[in-house]
């Protein structure tokens, strides 16, 4: 099952470029074949984002402003629930097919910016996320390691700019073999989690590979964090 948690929509300043796209050196805008695990992912679903405000009165005498506030509160609670999921863990190390300006280590836009808890709070370009060397270049990937091997049940990808480009989720078993858990169309929009759920794997994993197609959504595409959800047995 693929789900998205839709966030508040707000644009942040973009360091890479203004309104035009430069594919030369101005930064922003994710493999191996494998036999899929015997699972059947369900069609994408979404959790509504906070509603836009309006002055009209709605059912029960509440105003649209009140409805929007309640929706925003529900969204915030869902974000907190994901961040503090006792069965979830955030990546501790990452490598990528490429990075903006070939940065390494923990530099802005490096692969390691996709490790740890989410730290991008608004949709748009932010160096606290990973992005590829060039926008709209096609297939790129992010390979992430986690502290504890688990029997996986879900992978959550927090997309923070140019969302909707994930095309495949894979995990590696403890012998290093790769298993495709999902491949398809990413419904993510805005600052959002792509949540891919599947039956518990028959093996433990502590490594996830996220593949994106950066030509799907124009301009730069960025990933803030990735969470692996699973259990010990």
Looking at the domain assignment, is residue 37 inside a domain? yes
Looking at the domain assignment, is residue 136 inside a domain? yes
pLDDT in tens, the chain (233 residues): 555 554 433 333 344 544 334 433 444 433 333 323 333 344 343 344 544 433 334 444 557 778 888 888 888 898 999 999 999 999 999 999 999 999 999 999 999 999 999 999 999 999 999 999 999 999 999 999 999 999 999 999 999 999 999 999 999 999 999 999 999 999 999 999 999 999 999 999 999 999 999 999 999 999 999 999 999 99
- Domain boundaries, position 145: 2-17+27-46+87-231
Q: Count the domains in the chain.
A: 1
The confidence score (pLDDT) of residue 45 equals 37
**What burial class does residue 21 get, using C-beta atoms within 10 Å of its C-beta: 0-12 exposed, 13-18 middle, 19+ buried?**
middle
6 and 75 Cβ atoms separated by less than 8 Å: yes
1 and 42 Cβ atoms separated by less than 8 Å: yes
The confidence score (pLDDT) of residue 137 equals 95
Query: Which residues, in sequence order, are bridge partners of residue 19?
Result: none
Looking at the domain assignment, is residue 71 inside a domain? no
The confidence score (pLDDT) of residue 43 equals 38
Positive or negative: CA dihedral 44, 154, 8, 144: negative
Looking at the domain assignment, is residue 52 inside a domain? no
Distance of CA 223 to the CA centre of its chain: 5
Looking at the domain assignment, is residue 217 inside a domain? yes
The confidence score (pLDDT) of residue 142 equals 98
Terminal-residue alpha carbon distance, the chain: 21
Looking at the domain assignment, is residue 194 inside a domain? yes
Q: Is 82 helix (H, G, I), strand (E, B) or coil?
A: helix
* Residue 8: other Cβ atoms inside 10 A: 16
Looking at the domain assignment, is residue 108 inside a domain? yes
Looking at the domain assignment, is residue 148 inside a domain? yes
The confidence score (pLDDT) of residue 194 equals 96
Give the C-alpha separation, 3 to 193, whole Å: 8
Indicate which CATH number applies to the domain containing 170: 2.60.120.260
Distance of CA 213 to the CA centre of its chain: 13
The confidence score (pLDDT) of residue 66 equals 84
Q: Is the pTM of this model over 0.75?
A: yes
């Amino acid at each position: 099952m693929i789900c998205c948690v839709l966030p508040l929509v707000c644009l942040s300043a973009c360091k890479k470029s203004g309104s035009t796209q430069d594919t030369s050196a101005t930064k922003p805008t994710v493999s191996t074949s494998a036999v899929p695990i015997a699972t059947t992912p369900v069609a994408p679903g979404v959790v509504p984002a906070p509603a836009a405000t309006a002055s009209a009165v709605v059912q029960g005498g509440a105003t649209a402003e009140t409805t929007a506030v309640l929706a925003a509160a529900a969204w915030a609670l869902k974000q907190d629930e994901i961040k503090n999921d006792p069965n979830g863990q955030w990546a501790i190390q990452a490598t990528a097919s490429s990075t903006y300006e070939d940065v390494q280590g923990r530099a802005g836009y490096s692969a390691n910016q996709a490790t740890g808890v989410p730290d991008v709070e608004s949709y748009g370009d932010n160096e606290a996320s990973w992005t590829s060397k060039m926008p709209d270049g096609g297939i790129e990937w992010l390979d992430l390691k986690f502290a504890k091997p688990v029997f996986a049940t879900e992978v959550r990808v927090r997309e923070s700019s140019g969302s909707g480009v994930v095309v495949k989720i894979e995990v590696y078993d403890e012998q290093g073999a790769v298993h495709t858990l999902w491949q398809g169309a990413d419904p993510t929009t805005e600052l959002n989690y792509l949540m891919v759920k599947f039956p518990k794997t028959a093996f433990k994993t502590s490594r996830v590979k996220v593949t994106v197609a950066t030509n799907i959504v124009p301009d730069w595409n960025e990933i803030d964090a990735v969470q692996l959800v699973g259990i010990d047995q």
